[in-house]
Homo-oligomer: A and B are copies of this chain.
Amino acid sequence: MSLLVDNIGELVTNDPAPGDGPLGLVPEAAVVLEAREVVWVGPADAAPAADQRIDAGGGAVLPGFVDSHSHLVFAGDRAAEFAARMAGERYDGGGILTTVAATRAADDEALRATAVRLRAEALRQGTTTIEIKSGYGLTVADEARSLKIAFEVSPESTFLGAHLVPPEYAGRADDYVALVCGEMLAAAEPYARWVDVFCERGAFDADQSRAVLAAGMARGLGARVHANQLSAGPGVRLAVELGAASADHCAHLGEADIEALAGSSTVATLVPGAEFSTRSPYPDARRLLDAGATVALATDCNPGTSYTSSMSLCVALAVREMRMTPAEAVWAATAGGARALRREDVGTLRPGARADLVVLSAPSYVHLAYRPGVPLVRQVIHNGVVA
């Protein structure tokens, strides 16, 4: 069965003709989907016949958002911590352990229900691909079940056993790293596509981080790094050295970090929801872009430091706070996220791409930044099906 989407005010393909801007805009366009794929893209008056039709009502159509960084497997709520931080307390990363305790105490059903609910919430807002990390279990059993739930919800699941040293390993970080690289990785790996590490003072240093990533890569996982979030540490350079798909956060970069990213295939994934929700300085997206680095936007959705599932908000913050243009921000939230997940089938609308798209109740993608906070996603098609 084929599906025609027409009466599109502005189509973002991220598949530019030579000489076009990166968004590959097509005016008065139509898209035809069949099964789970895009089969035709072009001007509406040349569109082939299809079995069904969706009228975009003159709204813009874009590839579904690709959120390449989220933490949806957890229990509990840190609203009180958030309110305290907004009232002036400093966030030092210790809050993660609150969620670890709640997650360990929760049964599988509760964890699954939260992950499913948040994934549905993200889908309603246009996120058709989402990466989900473990990292609030920090025992062999709790990381394994967290990964299993993440993988049930999304194929882009990431093992983050090295999120923090849990209290029972206090003062024995190397022992914990050995556990992560050994038994924990073995238990989690069947459900994981990626391995990640929080490379930061107070979490894991460069050697520990390298050990975790190397162990994961040796088992066939792709690497990604929580890098340079709270300080200008070694995370970004480690990510580039190991050929990681993405260095995430990048809030504190030196010149060498920017050069390393620009000269690599490692994507700089920026998560402005985190800076918004922790009242921290935003990454310098302009320096990254001007140097030639590839930038993605993601939510970092988690109960502590960025409890948003809204890619639209990330686009608006990228424009307001990080001086990205609306076009750069929308590209980063779609094609950029796909690069950060090394996916060629999502983040673009061209024949052969997955049939994931979003219809806005606005005539242009610019409105995602121009109309902040307004739920502009009117319709979502995911895997060829109206969600």
Binding site for B on A (CB under 8 A): 77, 79-80, 82-83, 86-87, 121, 124-125, 273, 276-277, 279, 307-310, 312-314, 316, 319-320, 323, 325-326, 363-364, 366-367, 369-375
Contact = CB atoms under 8 A, between A and B. Distances in A.
Contacts of A325: 83, 86-87
Nearest to A366: B79
B366 A83 contact: yes
Contact of A313 (B277, B307, B366, B373): B373
B310 A372 contact: yes
A372 B310 CA distance: 8
A82 B276 contact: no
In the A-B complex, the 3 residue pairs with the smallest Cβ-Cβ separation, listed nearest first, are A313-B373, A310-B373, A79-B366
Contacts of A124: 375
Contacts of A316: 373
A371 B308 contact: yes
Given A307-B371, A326-B86, A79 B273 contact: no
A173 to B, nearest CB: 31
Quick one: which of A279, A308, A323, A375 has the most chain B CB within 10 A? A375
A125 B82 CA distance: 23
A320 B320 CA distance: 14
A375 to B, nearest CB: 4
B86 A374 contact: no
B307 A370 contact: yes
A87 B375 CA distance: 24
A276 B326 CA distance: 15
Given A369-B86, A370-B277, A371-B308, A77 B363 contact: yes
Contact of A373 (B320, B323, B373): B373
Nearest to A117: B361
A87 B328 CA distance: 12
Contact of A323 (B86, B273, B366, B372): B86
A201 B121 CA distance: 45
Quick one: which of A124, A310, A314 has the most chain B CB within 10 A? A310
A375 B125 contact: yes
A320 B86 CA distance: 7
A87 B326 CA distance: 9
A79 B60 CA distance: 13
B308 A373 contact: yes
B79 A313 contact: no
Contacts of A87: 323, 325
A187 to B, nearest CB: 32
A312 B312 CA distance: 14
A361 B106 CA distance: 21
A183 to B, nearest CB: 36
Contacts of A310: 372-374
A371 B279 CA distance: 14
Contacts of A320: 86, 276-277, 279
A87 to B, nearest CB: 6
A326 B307 CA distance: 15
Contacts of A370: 79, 82-83, 277, 307
Nearest to A86: B319
A319 B326 CA distance: 25
Contact of A364 (B79, B312, B363, B373): B79
Given A372-B308, A374-B121, A375-B125, A82 B366 contact: yes
Quick one: which of A121, A323, A371 has the most chain B CB within 10 A? A371
